[in-house]
Amino acid sequence: MHSGHLLLEEPIRMVSILEPSKPNFFPAMTKIVGTLGPKSRSVEVISACLKAGMSVARFDFSWGDPEYHQETLENLKNAIKTTKKLCAVMLDTVGAEMQVVNKSEKAISLQADGQVVLTPDRGQEASSQILPINFDGLAKSMTKGDTIFIGQYLFTGSETTSVWLEVSEVKGQDVICTIKNSATLAGSLFTLHASQVHIDLPTLTDKDKEVISTWGVKNKIDFLSLSYTRHAEDVRQAREFLSKLGDLSQTQIFAKIENVEGLTHFDEILREADGIILSRGNLGIDLPPEKVFFFQKSALYKCNMAGKPAVLTRVVDSMTDNLRPTRAEATDVANAVLDGSDAILLGAETLRGLYPVETISTVGKICAEAEKVFNQDLYFKKTVKYVGEPMTHLESIASSAVRAAIKVKASVIICFTSSGRAARLIAKYRPTMPVLSVVIPRLKSNQLKWSFSGAFEARQSLIVRGLFPMLADPRHPAESTSATNESILKVALDHGKASGVIKSHDRVVVCQKVGDASVVKIIELED
């Protein structure tokens, strides 16, 4: 792929610096995934996070037990009811993660130039001389000179909380390492990462399967974040596992790319997955730092062209302890938006950070500013060219709806959809205005009972840039030649007016099915 495609080929249109950021119901088109944990699990804080712009809540099972996460989820449900803001649920698996086990939870100091032994003998007590790990096969994979990183909450690059080790000798099942920097490790679990080495652990562990089939099924999770995805086969196996778990056959799988192995097989993984999470914390360790930006641009471009959501992590690490991001971080968030990211994922910043709500609101403001200068025209041309001709029926309708909306300066695109596919395709062309996706529930039967589908489809659009779902009343059928669609359209327009995105005399583009045909129409509002 020619890298020239990825860069802005026109200068950015300057926006008046003094132009105030307008308060808006849609703080930004780019979505924010927040990880809920100790500092962000009360109903009050979650409500504030939802109001600040969080639309997906991530539950990280690398720590905490299912009961703990269940309490948090119940609080999330209460917060959704009181704020009336939709939020999707993402379960993040542990995956092939190696961990140092520190049962006593005492802080461990490691001195530069000293030595430390990594051992699979979990009966040992963790100390500055010996660190027990949860994986028996490390010695088989390591050779003298290999690099290992250990840190809590993965490596922020902060030299005092993560340690860089170099393998000096492999002795039986033990790995003896030289310590490259002085650091203090605190807490009960530290993640261990062996740079550019294949680790023979399953991507979906037994513990992950148990959590998914109990906690995941009970809570009808919308997204599964598949940690350490290394091959397309990992996604296929996870899909097969989910397909047997009732409602979870509708759960979307987001492949988390966190090492060189995942990047090497990126194209095949993207074909199998519903979306991609680029885990830059780990990637930054596996890749030389100077290569990270290129893989980010390249991966986001591929996701955009495939019309699959791309999520970026590790953007405002310093906000874990500070009220403001650094200049570099603020620029990084904006560049993620310009590179085509659908959503920003916050980890430690909301999980254990001191300012979860402020972090979400700050990231949202930066995204909104970057969206104002996003080169939509260039992006649209690139996407149409990539799709090629002849276009499929749906692709043609979606691109026409976006082109029409931009030409008539519509304030919003309203799309009626039952599977959510039409709305996602419209979002793929990155319109400059919000897309209200009105999900019409479909009645389905499994011989025993009738049920409505639609809630999954509505929540799953909460991770796509520019898509804002509404669940319609199931009594209104989706395909209709009668006036029922008009009444749903009125509800959608009223919703848009109430939230401040639609004003009188605005133009609105509506995309809907009438009989067998798909129709794009432009409405001009009188009052």
39-53: per-residue pLDDT in tens?
Answer: 999 999 999 999 999
**pLDDT(22) > 80:** no
- Residue 362, pLDDT > 80, answer yes
Enter the pTM of the model: 0.89
Q: Is 113 left (phi over 0), alpha (psi -120 to 50) or beta?
A: left
Q: What is the pLDDT of residues 405-450, one digit of tens each?
A: 999 999 999 998 878 888 999 999 999 999 998 887 766 665 665 5
The pLDDT confidence band at residue 26, using thresholds 50, 70 and 90, is low
Q: What confidence category does residue 167 fall into, taking pLDDT thresholds of 50, 70 and 90? A: very high
In the structure encoding, which two tokens stand for residue 289, read together? 């730092």
Where does residue 141 rank: exposed (0-12), middle (13-18), buried (19+ CB within 10 A)? Answer: middle
Is 16 a residue whose pLDDT tops 60? no
- Mean of the per-residue pLDDT values of the chain: 87
Is the CA virtual torsion 334, 338, 342, 347 positive or negative?
A: negative
Proportion of the chain above pLDDT 70, given as a percent: 87
Residue (of 140, 139, 142, 110) closest to 126 by Cα position: 110
The whole-number average pLDDT for the span 99-110 is 87
Residue 185: band (very low, low, confident or very high) from pLDDT cuts 50, 70, 90: confident
* Residue 6 contacts residue 37 (beta carbons within 8 Å): no
pLDDT score at 194: 86
Question: Is residue 197 predicted with pLDDT exceeding 70?
Answer: yes
Give the Å distances, CA to CA, from 525 to 27, 170, 178, 375, 402: 24, 74, 71, 28, 19
Residue 247 burial (CB count, 10 A) = 16
The pLDDT, as a whole number, for residue 227 is 94
Give the model's confidence band at 495: pLDDT under 50 very low, under 70 low, under 90 confident, else very high: confident
Structural contact between residues 150 and 165, judged by C-beta atoms closer than 8 angstroms: yes
- In the prediction, which pLDDT does 13 show? 44
Domains and CATH numbers, the chain: 23-94+201-370 (3.20.20.60), 96-193 (2.40.33.10), 374-523 (3.40.1380.20)
- C-alpha distances (whole Å) from 210 to each of 36, 59, 66, 233 are 21, 15, 10, 20
Per residue in 440-488, pLDDT (tens digit) is 776 666 566 555 567 888 899 999 999 998 876 655 544 444 445 677 7
pLDDT in tens, 230-247: 999 999 999 999 999 988
DSSP string, 245-309: SGGGGGPEEEEEE-SHHHHHTHHHHHHHSSEEEE-HHHHHHHS-HHHHHHHHHHHHHHHHHHT--
Q: Is the pLDDT of residue 525 over 90?
A: no
Query: Burial level of 7, CB count in 10 A (0-12/13-18/19+)?
Result: exposed
